[in-house]
Amino acid sequence: MSVAICPGSFDPITLGHLNIIRRTAQIFDKVVVCIMFNSTKTTPMFSVEERVEMVRKVVERIPNVEVDTADGLLAEYAKRYEGAVLVKGLRAASDFEYEFQMNLINKKINPSLETMFLTASEKYTFLSSSVVREMARYGADLSDFVPCEIIDDVEKKAQLWRH
Ligand code: PNS
């Protein structure tokens, strides 16, 4: 059985993430969406539990997608699934530089771990969780940015952050 791991902080999951997850689910037998900690980012807007709940709501109708969390190194986590491949989305050259470095670090820790990249769909190349957080804080319409199942969750959290 072919297994893909789609790792990320998903703070929150965006339509761009969902596009990559759907496309990965068409290529691999099983996809594990792994919600992780990114030490280069500031305090997350959503707790891990909230992010898990949101990702679950969004992927529940894709039968071969599971949601998991991990707080250690991604390359160590991937050892749980024999032959698993990391799948990540690439939006721009700037993503490539970061991902290229991550791939080298992951390979140092787990030499048999492969990473594959899917190019982001053109309509989502501008999109990131940080853009969503910023738009939400200013009360913007989020329907072009996050899956409809979680718009309320993001708006509610943004309201709390405004007060
Ligand atoms: O969605 P993001 O924030 O771009 O995802 C980045 C993530 C969470 C995949 C990355 O920070 C990560 O792999 N974190 C786990 C810790 C790790 O393995 N770091 C790489 C070695 S320094």
How many whole angstroms from 142 Cα to the centroid of ligand 1? Answer: 25
Q: Establish whether 23 is a catalytic residue.
A: no
Q: What is the pLDDT of residue 78?
A: 98
Alpha helix segments (H runs only) across the chain: 15-27, 48-59, 74-77, 93-109, 129-137, 151-162
Q: What is the pLDDT of residue 125?
A: 95
What pLDDT does 100 receive?
A: 95
CB atoms within 10 A of CB 11: 23
Predicted confidence at residue 70, as pLDDT, reads 97
User: For residue 157, how far is its CA from the centre of ligand 1 (angstroms)?
Assistant: 24
Name the residue type at position 97: E
Q: How far apart are CA 85 and CA 83, in angstroms?
A: 6
Ligand 1 atom, smallest distance to 70 CA? 15
The best mutation among 5, 6, 9 to test binding of ligand 1, ranked by most ligand atoms within 8 Å of the C-beta, falls on 9
Residues of the chain with pLDDT under 50: none
Say what the pTM is: 0.97
Residue 75 Cα to ligand 1 midpoint, Å, equals: 10
Assess whether 163 carries a catalytic annotation.
no
Long-range CB contacts for residues 56-63, cutoff 8 Å, separation at least 24: 57/147, 57/149, 57/150, 58/13, 58/18, 58/147, 58/149, 58/150, 59/18, 59/21, 59/33, 62/21, 62/22, 62/25, 62/31
Q: What b/e string do you get for 21-32 counting C-beta neighbours within 10 Å, with b at 16 or more?
A: bebbbeebebbb
Neighbour tally for 163: CB within 10 Å: 4
